[in-house]
Structure 1
Amino acid sequence: MSIEWVNGAIEEIRAWGRSKDVVVDADEVRLLCDYASDYLDVSELADFTPGTFEQLLLDIYPRKVIAPPESAAETVAAARTLVDFLLESGEIGTKMAARMRAKIDEIAPEMPAALADTSKFGMAKSIFGAMGADEPDPTALDAPGPAGSGDDLLGLPLHRLRGVTADDGCECPGCSPLPAVRLAPPQQVAGAVREAGLLRDAHLVVAWMRDAGRTPTVRGALRVRDAARVTRELGVAAPETAWRLAVSLGLVEVSGAALTVAPGFLPLPERDDREVLDLWAGTVAFVTDGTADITGSAELDQELYAVHDMLYRLQEPMALAELREHLEEAWTGARPGEDDQDDEDGLGAALEVLAHCGTIERVRDAVRLTPHGLWGMRETFVRMGMPAPVAPDPAEGDAAGLVDGLLGGVPAEQAERDIGSWLARRSSPEAAAELLGAVQAQDAARRGVAVTIIDRLGPEAADAVRPFLSDAELRPHAVHWLSARGLEAPALTPEEALWVSVDMLAVAMPATEDDHERFAGTLATAAPPAHVIEEMWQVDHPDVAEVLDLLGRHLPDREIAKAARKAAFKARSRGIH
């Protein structure tokens, strides 16, 4: 979007309103200009036509604006004011103004229904509903992401609002406070960025152009034959995109067909971490700003900021099926006549492009931000002036904080870093005592996390583990830990052996909800024997009925599964829940 012409137009309209004693809803008029610029290639006021208003009010607004149907009257009134200004300022003639007014008269009764039609909602607008916006905030808009990168982001608000900013109390999901996130260490981020395809490609293209003495077109674009040679010689799949990124980041300056490589230009591997991180922040802004041709689909490119913002807020992988549902309009609505397989293949190809860029990665049948993608999005938010908190490092807290953090669903690689860092600050006996002490009288999930971490410790922690033999719930785990290391330990009673079997299955229950097939496969090879299951109902464990239900649903052997369901009924009859 050309912010300059919109700002200038709004100032002219404000001045016109003051001189004519006309009330101008400048915020509404600005939105009309903003969206016309973003989506309809309007670059000045004279570009407005009757068709522009029709597309804006019956297509763009229903897809993008979170507003109740009754707000249509305000928007229509602003459109009429804009036409009055266009006529009196000489931007349009009398006949054109009459055609515009007639078109707006046609639109006015249709717009409320269009705003209420959920089938028209675009992806980002749908995301807001999926993230828990029970009723749309009439003051809030879903706009495409930041238009620009680097210093252009400074002070840019996340959403354009009807006279409201996040600081004024807007509560729409897009303006809600960002969650605290865990970031990988800067040196790790910089290392990953050096392998990120798009930024690396940008450096390769600049170096090739410089060394080959090539020049861009008079419009500053990469020549077609040069793009083909770069692909052939360097293996760069999208050299035009890499070139535009290089120009955006200032790696090269173009003036007509003249090319000037930035002073001190270095290959990406030779740059220090600070430079690499700064370039990466600009790369993430370039990828998500909605105006660059990144994936090959203009519809999806306009939604990339919303996708990245959503994944940042979710802090967990998003199933491809759910992402595809949100993208239904961009992929199927924009490409009528193509079947579901075409849709799926197109989304897969787009995600491969983003994976090459380095911001998003596939995790089986889901997608998530990469660690450096997460870092880059936070940097984008910070440059936009948004509070973007960083979660405290569990290594600096106590055992209870570590356990709670791990139960919060951090990615596996982050969990490994947290555990390793926490253990590194303590001796083995200190770690064992803290962990077991933190989960006394706690639930099975917390015990399971603590026991899993303690399994990493060697025999030197034995003196810290033995005192917990007197704790009824931790005793079976302590016995198992000591026995597994060949250390002296009491024997488990049959009741304790049953209890610990239930306890460990209870730990697995939350994960089972996310991956039924994997759990069923595990049970197929490691399920408790039938006679153990039949006796489990007698165990005094708070989760025994739920564990037996779990076995009854997922055991592959029908007869044993039936026995588990009967045992669950017996447990409930005893009042054990």
Structure 2
Amino acid sequence: MSIEWVNRAIDGLRAWGSANSVDVDVDEVRLLCDYASDYLEVNELGDFRPGTFEELLLEIYPRKVIAPPETAPETVAAARTLVEFLVGTGEIATKVAARMRATIDRIGPEMPAALADTSKYGMAKSIFSAIGADSLELGHPLPVQGATAETVRDTATLDEECDCPGCAPLPAVRLAPVAEVVAAAREVPLLRDAHTVTAWLADHGGTTTVRKALRVKDARRITQELGVARPALAWRLALELGLADLAGTAVVKEEAFRVLADRAPEEVLDLWIGTVEFLGEEAREVTGEAAVDNSIYSIHDLLYRVREPVPLDQVADYLREVADGGLVEDLPAALAALSYAGTVRLTPGGLALTEHGQWGLREMYDELGLDAPVAADLAAGDAGALIAGLLQEGLADEAAERDVDRWLDARSPADAAGELLSAVAGAPAQVRGVAVTIVDRLGRDAESSVRGRLGDPELRPHAIHWLSSRGLEAPPLTEAEMLWVTVDMLALAIPAAEADPERFAENMGASGPAPEVIEDLWRVEHPDLVEVLELLGQTLPDETAAKAARKAAFKARSRGIR
């Protein structure tokens, strides 16, 4: 996925929407761009064509996205918005936009039926539709949806009597490459401003108060002349990092002072670690909101553990607790001010750490003597290591996706499919399911390797589905194979169903096998058959189907299957 161009496109879309008073469904448009990039060779906004939308809405979405048919109008509306954005920003010509609108008008009414057509489902969606989209996520980040500060800590297994960082193991994290951290740290506004303020004061004969604070008149001039938003904070950081010395109250630069852009990577990393420690060591007026400023360390620690954007209402709940009930008058503005420090970013989903922020926090934890593990680079291993790593708890989705993308980029589609499927021959259903899900990303170039698995009884049904879903010649699935793959997909759901039986029951009620199919499952030769049938018998909301599952489980046990 070309994340860079998509991010730039979404930033431009937001600005265009704001300027033109257009209500933009950013998440839906991002998904359109992501899938266009992944599957349709769209590498920039100008690559969109009328046919792109037809493939996205009638082929890619039905194969990949778990969404009920009634949500189709939302996606169609997002596609229309994207077209207006493309023509409004000059990415496409007016005539091309007209053809795009006509295409969307024609295919829009067809999308609900396409979403409901199970024959269009890709293998990953077929699995997820039966067992729930969350049950085979590549990672298992801590839940935050609907969570309060208390439940966030409970989920992280923090001691009820203490919420300090040492009371729970820190999760293994994937760190950005050092070169990227250095490049990002050079652009951190607060760190750059610390250098700017130091140089200005030294060059203009500036002096501090007897308490080493920046004088009000100097702060005003620095803001007016240099555009530094928080000169007092930047000056305190400059002193903390040793960028400036004082001769009495007169400001002088450190002996080897250089602007941030001219410093060696090792120096930049040291300064960045110092910046992160500066923010967390004690309460400082960073955002102007006491509840936030007094809790910066706690906010960072929360985001480090959760590792995905935390909705702002949950951040507010968390702050009310850790700040002893302190209220924040304007939380978004306060957190935007905190992003000035470079450690956090505001996303459509809430507050998250920047990658260089996570890197700096991990270094700080390590210096504090805490066990701060780093997740292995799964892209560097073979297929078995990749799959095993994806099945481990604790790897965030975004990092896992990058690992999979880099692993695939290092191989041809045929080689990737061959390695993955070879690695899971004879493996348990959950392991096999991860491999099949990754192979489902690959295009026709992987045909030879997938076709080569038609002789493997466990992989044959998956291979047939893969081939037929791409319009390639494939043998029909026999009735026995269809029943086997039904059990195989349901076996993936067992851990998730045990963790959340109500959600599993809801998903099965919407897309589970019919009672007449369940009645015949007892004949299937699958190691997880009885466990799957017992699960269905306990959780299916349709009593007829549940009874059929219990009866089938009894027959399977009578055959000696355990």
Rounded Cα–Cα distance in structure 2 between residues aligned with 1:392 and 1:533: 42
User: Superposed, which structure 2 residues align to 1:498-517 within 5 Å?
Assistant: none
- Give the match for residue 241 of structure 2: 249
- Is residue 490 of structure 1 aligned with residue 468 of structure 2? no
1:218-261 CA-to-partner distances (Å, cap 9, x unmatched) read 43322323333444454433222122112211222234431112
- Cα distance change on mapping 1:571 and 1:294 into 2, 3 Å: same
Give the counterpart of 1:481 among 459, 466, 473: 466
User: Superposed, which structure 2 residues align to 1:300-311 within 5 Å?
Assistant: 300-311=292-303
Higher alpha-carbon Rg: 1
> Residue 381 of structure 1: SS of its match in structure 2?
helix
- Give the match for residue 417 of structure 2: 432
- Give the match for residue 202 of structure 1: 194
- Give the match for residue 393 of structure 1: 377
- Cα distance change on mapping 1:247 and 1:547 into 2, 3 Å: farther
- Cα distance change on mapping 1:550 and 1:393 into 2, 3 Å: farther
User: Superposed, which structure 2 residues align to 1:226-265 within 5 Å?
Assistant: 226-265=218-257
Q: Contact 1:220–1:256 at 8 Å: present in 2 too? A: no
Residue type at the aligned position of 1:567: A
- Give the match for residue 574 of structure 1: 552
Q: Contact 1:536–1:544 at 8 Å: present in 2 too? A: no
Rounded Cα–Cα distance in structure 2 between residues aligned with 1:207 and 1:513: 61
> Which TM-score applies when normalising by structure 2?
0.58
- Give the match for residue 418 of structure 1: 403
User: Superposed, which structure 2 residues align to 1:333-482 within 5 Å?
Assistant: 333-334=325-326, 343=328, 345-407=329-391, 408=393, 410-426=395-411, 428-442=413-427, 445-482=430-467
1:319-348 CA-to-partner distances (Å, cap 9, x unmatched) read 55554444324556345xxxxxxx4x5443
Q: CA deviation at 1:372?
A: 1.3
- Give the match for residue 37 of structure 1: none
- Cα distance change on mapping 1:175 and 1:571 into 2, 3 Å: closer
Q: CA deviation at 1:371?
A: 1.8
Q: Contact 2:283–2:295 at 8 Å: present in 1 too? A: no
1:418-461 CA-to-partner distances (Å, cap 9, x unmatched) read 12333355554443233223334545543343123223445454
- Cα distance change on mapping 1:492 and 1:124 into 2, 3 Å: closer
Rounded Cα–Cα distance in structure 1 between residues aligned with 2:537 and 2:246: 68
User: Superposed, which structure 2 residues align to 1:321-332 within 5 Å?
Assistant: 322-331=314-323
> Residue 166 of structure 2: SS of its match in structure 1?
coil
1:106-153 CA-to-partner distances (Å, cap 9, x unmatched) read xxxxxxxxxxxxxxxxx99998766435675xxxx877xxxxxxxxxx
Residue type at the aligned position of 1:132: T
Rounded Cα–Cα distance in structure 2 between residues aligned with 1:228 and 1:506: 66
Q: Contact 1:505–1:547 at 8 Å: present in 2 too? A: no
- Cα distance change on mapping 1:125 and 1:455 into 2, 3 Å: closer
Q: CA deviation at 1:475?
A: 1.8
Residue type at the aligned position of 1:358: G
- Cα distance change on mapping 1:229 and 1:367 into 2, 3 Å: same
- Cα distance change on mapping 1:571 and 1:129 into 2, 3 Å: closer
- Give the match for residue 151 of structure 1: none
> Residue 226 of structure 1: SS of its match in structure 2?
helix
Rounded Cα–Cα distance in structure 2 between residues aligned with 1:267 and 1:514: 53
Q: CA deviation at 1:273?
A: 2.4
Q: Contact 2:158–2:168 at 8 Å: present in 1 too? A: no
Q: CA deviation at 1:285?
A: 0.2
- Cα distance change on mapping 1:183 and 1:535 into 2, 3 Å: farther
> Residue 345 of structure 2: SS of its match in structure 1?
strand
Tell me which of the two structures has the higher relative contact order, counting C-alpha pairs closer than 8 angstroms and 6 or more residues apart.
Answer: 2
> Residue 174 of structure 1: SS of its match in structure 2?
helix
1:459-482 CA-to-partner distances (Å, cap 9, x unmatched) read 454343234223344222212333
- Cα distance change on mapping 1:437 and 1:256 into 2, 3 Å: same
> Residue 280 of structure 1: SS of its match in structure 2?
helix
- Cα distance change on mapping 1:388 and 1:132 into 2, 3 Å: closer
Give the counterpart of 1:187 among 179, 185, 200: 179
Rounded Cα–Cα distance in structure 2 between residues aligned with 1:405 and 1:275: 34
Q: CA deviation at 1:281?
A: 0.4
Residue type at the aligned position of 1:183: L
Rounded Cα–Cα distance in structure 1 between residues aligned with 2:216 and 2:163: 36
Residue type at the aligned position of 1:240: A
User: Superposed, which structure 2 residues align to 1:163-178 within 5 Å?
Assistant: 174=166, 178=170
1:254-309 CA-to-partner distances (Å, cap 9, x unmatched) read 34431112344333334332222111101110111123222334454343323333
Residue type at the aligned position of 2:157: G
- Cα distance change on mapping 1:472 and 1:569 into 2, 3 Å: farther
Give the counterpart of 2:304 among 291, 309, 312: 312
Q: CA deviation at 1:359?
A: 1.8
> Residue 253 of structure 1: SS of its match in structure 2?
strand
Alignment length, in residue pairs?
399
> Which TM-score applies when normalising by structure 1?
0.56
- Give the match for residue 132 of structure 1: 157
Rounded Cα–Cα distance in structure 2 between residues aligned with 1:406 and 1:275: 35
- Give the match for residue 77 of structure 2: none
User: Unaligned stretches of 5+ in structure 2?
Assistant: 1-147, 557-561
Q: Contact 1:200–1:268 at 8 Å: present in 2 too? A: yes
- Give the match for residue 284 of structure 1: 276
Residue type at the aligned position of 1:203: H
- Cα distance change on mapping 1:133 and 1:411 into 2, 3 Å: closer
Rounded Cα–Cα distance in structure 1 between residues aligned with 2:196 and 2:515: 66
Rounded Cα–Cα distance in structure 1 between residues aligned with 2:227 and 2:483: 60
User: Superposed, which structure 2 residues align to 1:20-169 within 5 Å?
Assistant: 131-132=156-157, 136=161
User: Unaligned stretches of 5+ in structure 1?
Assistant: 1-122, 144-172, 336-342, 553-561
Rounded Cα–Cα distance in structure 1 between residues aligned with 2:486 and 2:222: 60
> Residue 174 of structure 2: SS of its match in structure 1?
coil
Give the counterpart of 2:213 among 210, 221, 226: 221
Question: RMSD of the alignment, in Å?
Answer: 4.6
- Is residue 271 of structure 1 aligned with residue 263 of structure 2? yes
Q: Contact 1:124–1:142 at 8 Å: present in 2 too? A: no
1:486-508 CA-to-partner distances (Å, cap 9, x unmatched) read 54422234664576577668768
Moved more, 184-193 or 351-360: 351-360
Rounded Cα–Cα distance in structure 1 between residues aligned with 2:534 and 2:320: 38
1:62-95 CA-to-partner distances (Å, cap 9, x unmatched) read xxxxxxxxxxxxxxxxxxxxxxxxxxxxxxxxxx
Rounded Cα–Cα distance in structure 1 between residues aligned with 2:459 and 2:176: 34
- Cα distance change on mapping 1:229 and 1:519 into 2, 3 Å: farther
Rounded Cα–Cα distance in structure 1 between residues aligned with 2:323 and 2:264: 40
